[in-house]
Amino acid sequence: MEEKAIKKYKILYVGGYGDFINSLVGSEDLFEVVTTENGLTAMNFVQSIHDTIDAVLIEAYLPGINGIEIAKMLKGKTALAKTPFIIVSPEYDEKFKKAAFEEITVNDYYSATLVPKDIHTRIFYLKKWFELSEEVGKVASAPRKEYKIPIEKRIFDIVISAGALLVLSPLLLIVAIAIRLESKGKVFYSSKRVGTGYKIFDFYKFRSMRTGADAMLKDLKHLNQYQSEEKKEEKKEENCPRCAQLPEGEFCSQVLYNEGKKICEYWYNETKRHTSTATFIKIKDDPRITKVGKFIRNTSIDELPQLVNVLKGDMSIVGNRPLPLYEAEMLTSDDWSERFLGPAGITGLWQVKKRGKKGEMSDEERKALDNQYARNYSFWGDIKLILRTIPALLQKENV
C-alpha cells in the first residue's frame, strides 16, 4: 500500500533567528517558507498574496516591536482570519507566553528548538480544529476595519486633482521637456512609499536629481538635517555596561535576539540611538539635485505628478506625507504608528507649521505633528491647510 503523501504547508515566518529559519527552510518536503524580517514587510506580503497561508510563525522578541504586537497587526487581516498563529522563542518565557495567549489568542508557543515534524503535525491539527470548530468566530480575531477616505474628502480630491491636471497640462509638458534636455534619464521618478494603514504604493514625482541619486545617499547621510549631533557620535563600548556588572548569563533588561545574538533591550536602544540614522532624511543644498530640479523643488512643481496618485486614491490632497520604506520601518511602535491612521497627502500640517520659521524641525516634532493631524483632521481643517500652503510655497525654505 502506498503511503499517503504528506501535505506541504506554506508558512509565513516573521523574524531573523537563523537557527529557526534554517531548520524550517531545510525541510523542503514539509514546508514552503516565506521569511520576513519585521511586521511591516510581513503585512505588505499578506496584502499582496492571493493564495493560502497555512500558518504564521512569529519570533517573540524582535528589535523595535515584539511578536505580540506584530501578531495583533497580522490577525486583523481577512486573509489570515482562520490561520494558526504560533509564537516561537529561543528561550522559554512564562510571562510572555501567558501574554501571547491572553492578548492575541495565539494558537501555540514553542521555545528552545523547533522540530520541523512537530511543527508540521501541530499545524495539521490546528487547521482541522479551525475547520471543525463551530465557535471559530470566537477564536479568530475579527478583521479590523480598513481606513477609507471619507466620501466628501474623496469627491473633493477627485474634482481638484482632475481639474488641476487638466489646467496644468501645458506646464507639465514644458517641465518634462526641460528635465529631459538637461540630463539623461526618466522624466518621472517613481518610488515605493508607505501611506495609510502601511499600504505600499508607487509614488510619482518629476525627477529633480541626477540618475543614480539613491546610490549616492549613503555617502551624504552626515549632511542629514534630522541627524542630531548626539546620533553622529560613535559608540565606543561594544557590550552593555549594566549587564557587565551582573553575573554571567543575566541581563539588566528584557532580552532581544538581534541577528541571532542576545542583547538586552536597554543596550539595543542605546546602540541604535547612537549609531542609526534619523527616521527622516533631508539634506540642505543637496549636490544630487540638477539645476532644473532645484527650480521645480523650490516652487514645488516636482510634486505635481502626485495629483495622479490622488486621482488613483493612493493619497489625498491633504494628509501626512507618505514615507519611503526605510523610514516607515522605523515608525511601527505605538508612539509613532498613529500617523498611519490618517490619510496620506501632498501637503499637510508639518509642511505649513514650520516653514519659514527659524531653526530646523526635529525628528520628534515632525512625528508629533503627523500624529496630531491623524487624530484631528477634518474636511474644513483640510481647506484651512490648503489656504496656508499657498503662502508657504513662497518661502525660500524647501520642505
State yes or no: pLDDT of 225 exceeds 60: no
Residue 259 has pLDDT above 70, yes or no: no
pTM of the model: 0.50
Residues 6 or more apart whose CB falls under 8 angstroms from that of 392 comprise: 351, 352, 355, 356
Top mean pLDDT of 127-136, 140-149, 295-304 is at 295-304
Average pLDDT estimate for 157-170: 94
pLDDT at residue 159 is higher than 90: yes
pLDDT at 392: 56
Confidence of residue 228 (pLDDT cuts 50, 70, 90): very low
pLDDT 10s digits, 318-340: 988 888 876 776 665 556 677 88
Please, what are the domains in the chain?
Answer: 9-139 (3.40.50.2300), 151-221+279-392 (no CATH), 230-275 (no CATH)
| Higher-confidence position of 395 and 128 | 128
- Over residues 213-217, mean pLDDT: 54
Q: What is the mean pLDDT of the chain?
A: 77
Q: What is the DSSP string of 80-139?
A: GTT--EEEEESS--HHHHHHHHHHH--SEEEES---HHHHHHHHHHHHHHHHH-TTHHHH
Greater confidence, 2 or 50? 50
- Mean pLDDT over 70-74 rounds to 84
Q: Which of 60-74, 140-154, 231-245, 347-361 has the highest mean pLDDT?
A: 60-74
pLDDT digits (tens, 9 = 90+) for 102-134: 777 788 888 878 888 888 888 888 887 777 654
Residue holding cell 516636482? 302
Q: Which run of H or E residues covers position 162? A: helix 151-167
| Owner of C-alpha cell 520576513 | 36
- The pLDDT assigned to 330 comes to 64
Q: Is 25 helix (H, G, I), strand (E, B) or coil?
A: helix
Q: Residue 302 pLDDT more than 80? A: yes
What confidence score (pLDDT) does residue 2 get?
Answer: 46
Cα–Cα distance between 25 and 52 in angstroms, integer? 18
State pLDDT tens for residues 24-38: 888 888 998 988 888
pLDDT at 178 exceeding the cut of 90: yes
The dihedrals phi and psi of 126, each to the nearest 5 degrees, come to: -65, -40
Q: Is the pLDDT of residue 135 over 50?
A: no
C-alpha 300/C-alpha 396 separation (Å) is 11
pLDDT band at 56 (very low <50, low <70, confident <90, very high): very high
